[in-house]
Structure 1
Amino acid sequence: MRRVQIAVIGYNKDSCTEAARKAAYKVGSEVAKAGAVLVCGGLGGVMEEACRGAKDNSGTTVGIIPENDASYANKYCDIVVCSTIGFARDFIVAGTADGIIAVGGGVGTRIELSAGYMLKKPMVAIKGSGGTADEYGGKYLDERKRVEIMMVASPKEAVRVLLEKIGKNNNAGLGHDNPPHT
């Protein structure tokens, strides 16, 4: 049986705050403890801290990097996918995930949330982690109300809520029968 794949998205290395680093590490830990696979953009900041948290808890990590050279990935990525398509890889990160957790973030995080929104992926934002997560948590991205970006208070709650939502979607047959038409 295929394992659940959770994308952790957020600040890059240059923009990452200490609060976001701590939250990302805890999210990665919780993803691993839940037996899910952590998927991310494979670089620094939130991505690296989430991977480190997962690895410290015997988890499996996948980094989908923009480059064509695996050496760009952070050292905690078990599997590196060299997308070779630059930051368009944000669409692959969102598409690969069964659900998405946002920790802070800037425009790249917005792109991943937008792709997840169009694909009706369950999404959670961690309150107080800053940036895109705080800006869009608890909201829909447009008037179509495809999927709410749920706002939660902690990394543990983020993983729990997301896994519940993924389970409900899988039981209802959602996600596979709903193409991302506008």
Structure 2
Amino acid sequence: MKQKENREIIPLPPKKLIVGVVGGSRVEPAIYEEARRVGKGIARAGFLLVCGGMGGVMEAACRGVFEGGGTSIGILPGSRRAEANPYVNIPIATSMSHARNAIIVRTAEIVVAIDGRYGTLSEIALARSMGKRVLGLYSWEDIPGVESFRNADEIIRELKTFAGSYSES
């Protein structure tokens, strides 16, 4: 005689919004601080951060996420997880150099561009070509489709609004 299996239905946890933060690898202290504040706001809102996992804006955002008790994913250019900045929770070594930018942007549901040069520009272009929103803070705001914001607080407010209306497709 077979015993009836007891299968309790366990509700799945809600999916968290994944926010990509892209930007300069070497930044001024004021830019670093704004990126840190963006990261902290991402964590406090319950979102996940994905970035390139290295220095500058990436480190600052990861630091903010760490301070806010959140989770950051670093998509690294090299082959060693140890290359990640010290605040990355989940380092992913790709050995893909700048080609990793496509992974960062594809993973994110919305992208925040802070400062940056041509690597950031490539991430913005990839995001826009994929139909993703790009929120700009001191970064390439004259490009069509980059929505310009003045500070971290405005960015976080917009991310929360986006999260409230976003449905994964």
TM > 0.5 between the two? Answer: yes
- What's the counterpart of residue 143 of structure 1? none
> How do residues 59-138 of structure 1 correspond to structure 2 at under 5 angstroms?
59-126=70-137, 129=138, 133=139, 136-137=140-141
Query: Pairwise CA RMSD of aligned residues?
Result: 1.4
Shift of 1:165: 2.9
Shift of 1:137: 1.8
Residues 63 and 77 of structure 1 are in contact (CA less than 8 Å); yes or no, is this contact kept in structure 2? Answer: yes
Q: Percent identity?
A: 30
SS at match of 2:113: strand
Q: List runs of 5+ in structure 2 lacking aligned partners.
A: 1-13
Q: Which moved more, 1:161-170 or 1:110-119?
A: 161-170
> How do residues 133-152 of structure 1 correspond to structure 2 at under 5 angstroms?
133=139, 136-137=140-141, 139-140=143-144, 148-152=145-149
Alpha-carbon distance in 2 for matches of 1:41, 1:9: 7
Aligned residues: 156
Query: 1:6 and 2:19 equivalent?
Result: yes
Aligned-partner residue type, residue 82 of structure 1 = A
SS at match of 1:44: coil
Distance 1:169-1:4 versus aligned 2 partners, 3 A rule? closer
Query: 1:53 and 2:68 equivalent?
Result: no
2:152 to 155, 158, 168: 155
* Deviation string, structure 1 residues 24-67 (Cα, Å, up to 9, x no partner): 11000110111000111000011001100110110101000011
TM-score (norm 1): 0.81
SS at match of 1:108: helix
Residues 69 and 82 of structure 1 are in contact (CA less than 8 Å); yes or no, is this contact kept in structure 2? Answer: yes
Alpha-carbon distance in 2 for matches of 1:166, 1:139: 24
Aligned-partner residue type, residue 110 of structure 2 = G
Shift of 1:162: 2.9
Distance 1:139-1:166 versus aligned 2 partners, 3 A rule? farther
Shift of 1:139: 3.8
1:39 to 26, 47, 50: 50
Shift of 1:166: 4.6
1:164 to 142, 158, 161: 161
Q: List runs of 5+ in structure 1 lacking aligned partners.
A: 141-147, 177-182
* Deviation string, structure 1 residues 109-160 (Cα, Å, up to 9, x no partner): 001101100111111011xx3xxx1xx32641xxxxxxx2111111121122
